[in-house]
Amino acid sequence: MRERIPSGFDPFVLPFLIGIGFVLLYCLLAAMRVLWQCPREDRRRFFLSLITPTTALRNLWDIFANCLIHVKLWKRNKLLGFMHSSIAFGWFMIILLGHLEVFLFVPHRLNLFYYPIFFNYFVAETDTSLRGAFLFFLMDFFLLLILIGIALAIIKRVRSRLFGMRRTTRLSFLDTVGLYSLWLIFPLRLLAESFTASISGGSFLVKPLNWLLEAVLGSQFLLNPANNLPTWWAYSIVLGIFMVVLPFTRYMHIPTEMMLIPMRNAGLRIRHARRGYALLEVYSCPGCGVCIDACPMSVKKANIKDCTVYLNRQIRRGNERRIEEISDKCLLCGKCTEVCQVGVEGPALRIFQRARRQYAVNPDYAAVNVAPPESAGKVLYFGGCMTALTPSIGRSMESVLGKLGIDYTWMDRDGGICCGRPMLQAGRFPQAAEMVRKNTELIKASGADTLLLSCPICYKMFRDHYKLPGIRVVHHTQYFEELRRSGVLKLSKSDLCYAYHDPCELGRGCGVYEEPRTLLGSAAYIVEAEKNRGESICCGGSLGSLSLGFQQREAMTRRALENLTVAGPDAIATACPLCRSTFARYSSIPVRDIAEVVDLSL
Amino acid sequence: MKESVVIIGGGIAGLEAASQLLALGLSPVIVEKSDHLGGHVAEWYRLFPDLSPAQDLVTHLVSSTSGARIYLETEISRINALKDGYSATLNNGDVLFCKAVLVCTGFHLFDAAKKEEYGYGIYNSVITNRDLEHWFGGLEDARIPDNPRAVGFVHCVGSRDVKAGNTQCSKVCCMTAIKQAIEMKEKFPEAEVYCFYMDLRLFGKKYEDFYISAQRDYGIHFIRGRVSEVSEDIDGRLLVKAEDTLSGKPLKVRLDLLVLMAGMVCSPQTGRIASMVRAEVDDDGFLRSRDNIYSIVESGRKGIFFAGACTGTKTIPETVAEARAAALSAFRYIKEKA
């Protein structure tokens, strides 16, 4: 290869240079801002993790798997995965191979930013450049891959169902500009390269197109700079436009995710709704809209704009009224996080947003006085408010524990203090902390070594937000399953066929999926819901929402019931008193807690 | 031949309408799905505010409709609109031709088990207002203790309750609770009787006097505050938790019997009938009248009339008055057409 343009410069590279200069400066400043907003200890943790070899390796692997290959999208839908990875990985490879070409053929130009991008304009093929043929082939191969990806993206805009998505996001104006410029970049590159392919060479894609153009327009036409330069200008301008609008579009997720992954791997978490790490999550949202179909609220069209993808958009826009509305409405079921390919924690963002609110009255629970549990039983059972409202579950718990002869104390049989989770979810951290403190005192004073919960909302709270050294916190499904395995609990299998509903707090919240199923499976037959485990649909009764009324929740509950009963079960089993009473309101078949099922089979 | 009117439902509304239509010279046909006439009133023992026997009213109404054709244990399977009237096909195969249809499908007593926190169907000594009336009427009920020391009444069970899916006031429960509280106090003078209410809606003639007498003459305790939950203590007594909103303090009371004042909800048959005659169902589940002031008994569809609790919660006097109004409206409609 030899250089065709001795100066190594042509004005057409300017739009690209302006674009890349702008986007790099913007990202640098944004990254510094995020780092500055993080608490000092988080910053320290982050820098330490970067020089820890294992974390550094994991970062590289995660960035490769998530940003380039989009592993999570592949798992969701093959076509969707292929579309994204072909564009992302293809583009990455083209940039990489461009640099390799510069390195191999014109190493002294490596200092020029634009050279690898416009390599084919600046060089001409010589007889000795045959060794570049393989690189040319690869370049064309990846360009073709990207073009296929773009074609799929265009199809997806029209027929999103082919990609496993019922609904996609409605784009903002700048997003549309970004989208169209992204779609244009690669066809224009193909055009520009094929105009000059008789000079700079090419492979199976560029060359034939060059011959075709020659046949139609004549080779003199192609070689005239007045004709081929505009194609390179167009390519550069579109690249420039894309990069200039990038920070203000959903495509900001591309650079942001590369910072989010190492920070998450360093163990950083959201500590403020709008600062530091939270900003990274917001800007990492690619606006794909997978969370729209996942959101239980989206059964009603009016709620679609309250999904996490729109929360992120409104936070970026600073639309306070909408941010509050969206944050208050959410059920905090966590399904958007479960399906999100970049792992935006919609519920956490909302909780911290709620925490910013100033309340005129802050309840004080200092006067609440509850006697500590009397006997120093080995097992302390905490039913919680929801079990108090579903007395048959509490009865079954008593009955099962009694039949097994387990020495236990029902801590809040005669009333107790809330575990604090509703206050935590409402973002009222000091109030929640007060309850945590009181309950911790009571539990520690009891001398118990096991804390048994029948409500997964309490279970999540005690597991994650209490410090109870030496005390095992266990949900009743886990506890009974353990007893069954050790032979203490002997169940007789009934003929009934149950559909098991994974409560949000137990499944996605605590990762308990297996124990309820094996336990239930030994007491009855199980069929699965259409969407189960991590993708189970919230019953609609969640305490998480601050503004949804009962009438608005009805459609969600009915949708969840429909999902549960696809296989035609005789009854529904769940492991949460709240899910149970919510479903029971509209279900045509019986709804039971696993404790009740166990009691029936004992 | 006399012009015929099909009356769906043989409760007090249907019976009273039939008796009026007979007097007006028409030929009413009552189609009743259960095996007895009189509906909910026939299951009641005594009626407020005069503690008059419910059976007297039902007997009177039944005797005054002896000239009407009556189908018991029969349901309507189809109603077709004809050129100048309707034909109703019954599930026994009979087809009735009529000039007008009068819907008197009434209400359904709220299923108290749906308010699980009150423990109906779970705890031994939790019953409903209807269970108590049955017991007053002489039916055995093992849940009612021989000598209760304390009895509680919970107002608004399934009424004015978004959670239960019913936002309407059932109108009669406040007075029924006071009546039953007085009756319990008469039976067990030593027992303490509590009424847990949100607010008392005592709008009718003599209602307020009845309430004052319950407090003054019978010593019944009225506690303003919704019951939050009910549990059972080790002796099997009920522990009721509520908030006394007048004193602003949470409250716990131990009881031997708890009576839930289950409210009125629309009857499940109503929706089916509504779709047959293409009447509209309101967002509270009850039928939608042409308007709620002047034409409550009219449906907005020709020849279809409503009476009683199918359009909303009603007291007995209201239901009876509406039945007469509906009979007159149907009569005028038929005469004007002829």
CA-based nearest distance A483→chain B, Å: 26
Q: What is the pLDDT of residue B35?
A: 95
Contact state of B122 with A414 under an 8 Å Cβ cutoff: no
* pLDDT per position as a tens digit, A415-458: 788 999 999 999 999 999 999 999 999 998 888 889 999 999 99
| Whether A86 contacts A146, CB under 8 Å | yes
Q: Does B268 touch chain A (CB under 8 A)?
A: no
Domain membership of residue A497 (yes or no) is yes
Residues B172, B117 share a domain: yes
Residues B156, B286 share a domain: no
* Minimum Cα–Cα distance from A584: chain B residue: B114
Q: What is the pLDDT of residue A474?
A: 96
Contact state of A415 with B114 under an 8 Å Cβ cutoff: no
Residues B216, B183 share a domain: yes
This complex has an ipTM of: 0.77
Residue type for position A108: H
Residue type for position B10: G
C-alpha span between A118 and A114 (Å, rounded)? 6
C-alpha span between A70 and A78 (Å, rounded)? 10
Residues B139, B30 share a domain: no
C-alpha span between A277 and A429 (Å, rounded)? 19
Q: Does B252 touch chain A (CB under 8 A)?
A: yes
Distances (CA, A) of B112 to A440, B119, B165, B226, B260: 37, 9, 13, 15, 7
In the predicted structure, residue A184 carries a pLDDT above the cut 90:
yes
Q: Mark B68-85 as b/e (b = at least 16 C-beta within 10 Å).
A: bbbbeebebeebebeeeb
* Minimum Cα–Cα distance from A581: chain B residue: B116
Question: Domain span at residue B236?
Answer: 112-264
Contact state of A391 with B231 under an 8 Å Cβ cutoff: yes
Mutation choice for A interface testing from B110, B117, B239 by most A CBs within 10 A = B117
Model-level pTM? 0.86
Contact state of A584 with B252 under an 8 Å Cβ cutoff: no
CA B332, B334, B335, B338 torsion-angle sign: positive
Tell me what the mean pLDDT of segment A99-122 comes to.
90
C-alpha span between B19 and A231 (Å, rounded)? 93
Contact state of A584 with B117 under an 8 Å Cβ cutoff: no
Distances (CA, A) of A384 to A457, B183, B203: 9, 37, 40
Residues B123, B249 share a domain: yes
The domain boundary, picked from B264, B291, B310, lies at B264
CATH number for the domain spanning B186: value is 3.50.50.60
How many other CB atoms are there within 10 angstroms of residue A28's CB atom? 11
Residues A296, A152 share a domain: no
Contact state of A550 with B165 under an 8 Å Cβ cutoff: yes
Contacts of B234 in chain A (CB under 8 A): none
Give the three-state DSSP class for A280: helix
Contact state of A549 with B162 under an 8 Å Cβ cutoff: yes
Residues A155, A25 share a domain: yes
The domain boundary, picked from B249, B264, B279, lies at B264
Domain membership of residue A71 (yes or no) is no
C-alpha span between A290 and A286 (Å, rounded)? 10
Residues A435, A514 share a domain: no
User: Domains in chain B: how many in total?
Assistant: 2
C-alpha span between B307 and B16 (Å, rounded)? 10
* Minimum Cα–Cα distance from A368: chain B residue: B250
In the predicted structure, residue B277 carries a pLDDT above the cut 80:
yes
Contact state of A395 with B122 under an 8 Å Cβ cutoff: yes
* pLDDT per position as a tens digit, B199-210: 999 999 999 999
In the predicted structure, residue A374 carries a pLDDT above the cut 80:
no
Q: What is the pLDDT of residue A2?
A: 82
User: Domains in chain A: how many in total?
Assistant: 4
Question: Domain span at residue A542?
Answer: 491-601
Tell me what the mean pLDDT of segment B219-235 comes to.
90
* Cα angle A12, A153, A204; round to 5: 60
Q: Per the structure block, which two tokens stand in for B184?
A: 């319990």
DSSP of B244-255, one letter per residue? ETTTTEEEEEEE
Q: Could you check whether the bond before residue B49 is cis, i.e. omega within 30 degrees of 0?
A: yes
Residues A575, A497 share a domain: yes
Domain membership of residue A359 (yes or no) is no
Q: Does B295 touch chain A (CB under 8 A)?
A: no
Residues A477, A504 share a domain: no
* Cα angle B235, B240, B245; round to 5: 155
Residue A460 C-beta-side C-alpha neighbours within 13 Å: 20
Residue in A389, A550, A554 closest to B116 by CB: A389
The domain boundary, picked from B223, B241, B264, lies at B264
CA-based nearest distance B255→chain A, Å: 15
Residues B191, B133 share a domain: yes
Contact state of A391 with B114 under an 8 Å Cβ cutoff: no
Residues A295, A202 share a domain: no
Contact state of A388 with B231 under an 8 Å Cβ cutoff: yes
C-alpha span between B122 and B232 (Å, rounded)? 10
CA-based nearest distance B227→chain A, Å: 11
With cut-offs at 50, 70 and 90, classify the pLDDT of residue A40: very high
